[in-house]
Chains A and B, each alone.
Chain A
Amino acid sequence: MNQNVASKLANSVRQAKETQVTDKAATAEKPVATAKSEEAPRPALLTSRRVWPD
């Protein structure tokens, strides 16, 4: 039982570390926004449907 808790806790820390590494890699690979990307067409959902009430 105690060994189970110890393994779970250690695994949770390992997972949190892996998530952090993945987050860092994703941040590093994220393209810098450019004027061109800002000019890209808006998604259909936002242009064709009103999603928020006035």
Chain B
Amino acid sequence: MSAKVFAISNQKGGTGKTTLSMNFAAGLARRGRTLVVDADPQGSAGQWAGLASDERPFPVSVISLGGSLAREINRFREDYQYIVIDCPPTLETDVTRLALSVSDAVLIPVLPSPIDLWASIRIADAIEQAQMSNPKLEAFLVINQLEPRSALSRAMQQALAEFEIISLNNVLRRRAVYRTSAIEGASVYCMGKRGESAAQEIDAIIEEISQ
């Protein structure tokens, strides 16, 4: 077994990297043994899992790694089927570069707002750079916090075509359950009826990138 490694990255803060990392990892954990690597110095993924109760632990182990990330991930590859790296909100760090160098795919959450789109443009360069040393690296844009009634949200797919990175057809809508699940140290899969639609969104994203 050699784990498939996913980096969740965007140099813009607040785009939902940790929310996507944790729920994506929880979805993957239903398919195989999964590990989350918290590579963000803010440590949000670790905090999230730390809020889980003893009765209902977060379904995925979370470890913090920095400069030794590439070496450690290669060590874990044989023990897990999936590894998800929650990257720091910057491209100007060795940690992000290392994460992209060992990943099979990078998911880039983007918010349906012009400012977030402008700030996300440089990620394409970073991925191009990473692909020179890691040609297998695939990249996918994931629209996060979509509001179907908003004209801006509906305009996103056309705008994302400018990025020259594949934009997933499946998106994450703006839902309170993504935030409340963090408070409870849970994934949307454990939020009962409230989390059903969100869990379907995560599953759809996993299915789409698995094709």
Contacts and interface: CB of A to CB of B under 8 A. Distances in A.
Interface of A: 1-2, 5-10, 12-14, 16-17, 20
B interface residue count range (under 10 / 10 to 19 / 20 to 34 / 35 or more): 10 to 19
A6 B159 CA distance: 7
Nearest to A16: B118
B151 A2 contact: yes
A16 B117 contact: yes
Interface in B80-123: 114, 117-118, 121-122
B166 interface: no
Given A6-B158, A9-B156, A10-B155, 7 more contacts: A2-B151, A6-B151, A6-B154, A9-B152, A9-B155, A13-B118, A16-B118
Contact of B118 (A6, A10, A12): A12
A13 B155 CA distance: 12
22 contacts: A2-B154, A2-B155, A5-B154, A5-B155, A6-B158, A7-B158, A9-B114, A9-B152, A9-B155, A9-B158, A9-B159, A10-B158, A12-B118, A13-B117, A13-B118, A13-B121, A13-B162, A14-B162, A16-B117, A17-B162, A20-B121, A20-B122
B159 A16 contact: no
Nearest to B150: A5
Main secondary structure of the interface of B (DSSP, over half): helix
Contact of B159 (A2, A10, A20): A10
Contacts of B152: 5, 9
A5 to B, nearest CB: 4
A32 to B, nearest CB: 21
B117 A9 contact: yes
B155 A1 contact: no
B140 interface: no
